[in-house]
Structure formats: C-alpha cells, structure tokens
Amino acid sequence: MMLYDEPVWKLMHEMVADLELRNGEVLSKAQVIAWFADHYPKVKGSTIDVHLTRLSTNASSRVHYNAKPGRDDLLFKIDPHHFRLYSPDSDPSPIYAASTRVFGPRGLGSNRIGSRAPLHLSTTRSQSQLSGRDAEWKRLAALYDLERYLFEVVSPGFQRDGTLSSYDFFAIIIWKSNRSKTKIKRGLAAARTSVAELMSEVSEAPTAPAKLDTLVRISGIGLAIASAILTVCYPEEFTVLDYRAWDTAKKERVDSLPGRKPQTPTEYLQYRRACQLFAAELGVSLRSLDRALWARSWESDLERLISEMQPASEPEVPVGADEEVGPATRGGGSHMTIHVEVYLASRMLGRQHGDFARSELIERVRREFGDNRPGVSTYATAHAVANAPKNTTVVYNYLWRLDLGRYRCFDPARDRPHPTRIDARHQPRRVDVPHMYRNYLADEDRL
C-alpha cells in the first residue's frame, strides 16, 4: 500500500524538480532526507536509501530493485552520501538486471550476483551466446567459495551502498546457519520490513550496540547470526560468535572474556572487545583471529579422531591410557611411550630455540624417535600442555602454550598449571627414560 498518492520513485523526480537541481550540482543524502521530512514525512529513511540506490544509474545494487530503463535513470552516485543528475551524454550506460557485470576485486565471474543472464545450451551458438554461457559458469564457480564472495564482494558492496539485497543477506545467513533462513524470512515478514530496509537501518545506526539491537529484534536473528551479518558488513569491527571460536578462546584463556558463552548483546560486545585486544596482541586482523580460533577447534577435533584410530601395523597406546601400559614397539624405532618422546623432544627444542611450533615438536619426535603415531599430535597439543584444561584421565605438565601454535617447556618454578591438572607430573619417571636421554631430566630424577 502506498503512503501517498504517488509511488516514492515519482516523489524522487518531484524532489529534483522542486530543488531545481541542475547538471553537475551535488545533491547530498541529507538534503534528500530533509526534503522528504518537509513534504512526505511518512516515507522512512530506509525507503529513501533504497530509492536512491534504485535511481542511481551506476549503483550495482540497483539490479536487485528492478530498475526500469528511462524511468529510474535519474541520478549518478558520487559516493554513499552524494549524488548528481545522470548525464546520458557523458556518464557510463546505466546498470540494469540484464547487464553483464564483472564482480569482485579479483575479476571472478562476469555477472553481478542477482543479474543472471540465461544459459544458452544449444548445439549451435553465436560468439556472444558462447561468451555469455562461459561467463555464467565462471560466476557460479566463484560462488563455490562463499566466504570469499561474502568478504570480497558483499562487504565492500555494503560499504558502498549502505544496504544489502535479499540475495546477499540470505547468502550470509546460509553461510552461518542454513537451517535458520526460513525462520528469518518469517521474522522479516512479521516485522513488516524488507532486507533492504533492515540493513539500511543497520547502516544508519550510530553505534555497535545499536547495530546489534537493530538485527536481534527480528525474530529468528539471534546473537550468532547477527554477529555473522555484522562481521561481513564490518569485518574490522565485529567477529563471528561461533561455538568453535568461543571454545578455543576459553581454552587459550583469552583475557576479559565473559564468564559464559555470550547469551546477551552486552556479553557479545564483551567477547568482541576481548577478541579485538587479543588480535592486537598477536598482530593479526580481527577476521584472521576468528579464522584461527575456528581452525584450532576444527583441527583438534580432527586430531582427536585420528588419535583414536588403531592401525594394525602400528598399534597405538590408547590416548589417555595409564602410563603403566607397555610402550608401543615399532621396527627399528623407539620403545618409549608417546608422552616420554614428547617430553624429550620439547627439551631438545627448548635448549636450541627457547620456544617452538607444534609442527616442529611433532617433526622432532619423528626424526629423533622414528615415531609417526597420530597420538603424538594429541599429546603435543592437549595432554601434555600444562595450561590447558584436563581432557582425559592421565595428563602431564610438560609444555606451556604461549599463543596459537607456539609452545615452550613447562617451568614448575614459575608456571602455574591449569587447576584441573595441579597434580600432574612435570617430567617422566626415570625408569621410563633411556640412559642416553636422562640428561634432559631435572637433577633429582637423573640418577
């Protein structure tokens, strides 16, 4: 239902005539909002945003608003807040839904998302038909890497246009939580708002809490999904609330985290701030930190799966089994248990370099003891790490995690283990260590 006798696009033309805008003169978004406030106050700011995009001939997002040739070719966007009249004699041709447009900073694909040209699959095709088909398949292939599309195409598009199309908005939803898309569609309908209007409000919200509140008031958009939307739109300011990232942050004992996984906007903003500080400490971007936190949890799950495998040719000591269980025997290799190998390899690296990477520790075990068992990785990243929570029956305080992927040797004189492993051994028993390696034990256990 129209608020007035004329649709908003006609009111835009009326505004241009009323302001007597001439070719080359700059029209600010603030002027447009003020004019509508005086003449048609029922028109919302988000609706004005949508029509400024629709009526700007060079706005790529106009393809999502069914821009009509001629009728909607009114303005030329200078930047997100300034416009001028479109000049057919000097400006590029207007963008329409059927236009072939290269999208993305890497030049991937050929059609802007939402402006899909039909595929021509007949056996005889003209050159233009062939190039159109090839461009469409390149566009689809680029979409396979959805995260790249979101951060290389959708993110800068939002910064440029101040809103999102339904296509790009739901691409974010599917990326974060595919099962939530129907609930969110219903939530938008219940709120009687469109994606474009909602995201224009987000763009106009002056603070991070206001942007978050604008999203979570829509039924179906919880904190996790709201964080994903805001991370795509503002990748330098927000981070995704994800159970994997949260789990890693807790295990890493990142400073200033809330006491539980965020369940309120205030708790999420506290989590966001903690991640911002941790990213600055590590010298990485907020987006890179989010990926690293997620990857650490994913990798731990993978390593746990592998460590539980029992290859017939190389029987494994069960992860977390009591150390009295006999050591694994490998032809030509070590006869030590994994935790002893990890201890010795870490002391060798510690004397040489001070600190070391997980991969360096695993490689040193392999080279020194000929041990390729998957359980080595699990001990190196969990069971032998003194400042990690206890996650199995038998653990050891051999290592101290410094940051993502780097360790040093545990020092009982200055390091305080995690409360769940206060009583764990900080070095192997003397009888378990071959004579040639006992110089790596503390003095009281060398004899």
**Range 37-56 average pLDDT:** 88
Angle at 177 between CA 403 and CA 218, to 5 degrees: 110
Task: Flag whether pLDDT at 179 surpasses 60.
Answer: yes
- Residue 434's pLDDT is 84
- Residue 116's pLDDT is 33
Where do the structural domains in the chain lie, given as residue ranges?
1-99, 146-284, 338-445
**Residue 380: pLDDT band with limits 50, 70, 90:** confident
Q: State how far the Cα of 323 lies from the Cα of 39, in Å rounded to an integer.
A: 82
**Range 192-206 average pLDDT:** 92
Q: State how far the Cα of 300 lies from the Cα of 244, in Å rounded to an integer.
A: 10
The predicted-structure confidence for 112-133, as pLDDT tens digits, reads as follows 333 333 333 333 444 545 455 6
**Residue 46: pLDDT band with limits 50, 70, 90:** confident
Q: State how far the Cα of 426 lies from the Cα of 343, in Å rounded to an integer.
A: 9
- Residue 73's pLDDT is 93
Work out whether the CA dihedral 125, 129, 131, 137 comes out positive or negative.
Answer: negative
- Residue 281's pLDDT is 86
Task: Flag whether pLDDT at 155 surpasses 50.
Answer: yes
**Range 156-174 average pLDDT:** 92
SS3 state of residue 239: coil
Which positions ≥6 away from 257 have C-beta within 8 Å? 249, 250, 270, 271, 274
**Residue 443: pLDDT band with limits 50, 70, 90:** low
Task: Flag whether pLDDT at 351 surpasses 70.
Answer: yes
More confident position, 46 or 218: 218
- Residue 131's pLDDT is 56
Does pTM surpass 0.75?
Answer: no
**Range 428-447 average pLDDT:** 74
Which positions ≥6 away from 226 have C-beta within 8 Å? 212, 215, 216
Asked if 334 and 371 touch (Cβ cutoff 8 Å), the reply is: yes
Closest of 311, 434, 324 to residue 373, by C-alpha: 311
- Residue 136's pLDDT is 78
**Range 10-32 average pLDDT:** 92
- Residue 353's pLDDT is 80
Asked if 257 and 241 touch (Cβ cutoff 8 Å), the reply is: no
Task: Flag whether pLDDT at 398 surpasses 70.
Answer: yes
- Residue 312's pLDDT is 44
H/E stretch holding 399 reads: strand 399-403
**Range 291-310 average pLDDT:** 82
- Name the average pLDDT for the chain: 81
Task: Flag whether pLDDT at 277 surpasses 90.
Answer: yes
- Residue 324's pLDDT is 34
**Range 190-210 average pLDDT:** 93
Lowest mean per-residue pLDDT among 82-86, 289-293, 364-368 = 364-368
The predicted-structure confidence for 210-248, as pLDDT tens digits, reads as follows 999 999 999 999 999 999 999 999 999 999 999 889 989
- Residue 138's pLDDT is 80
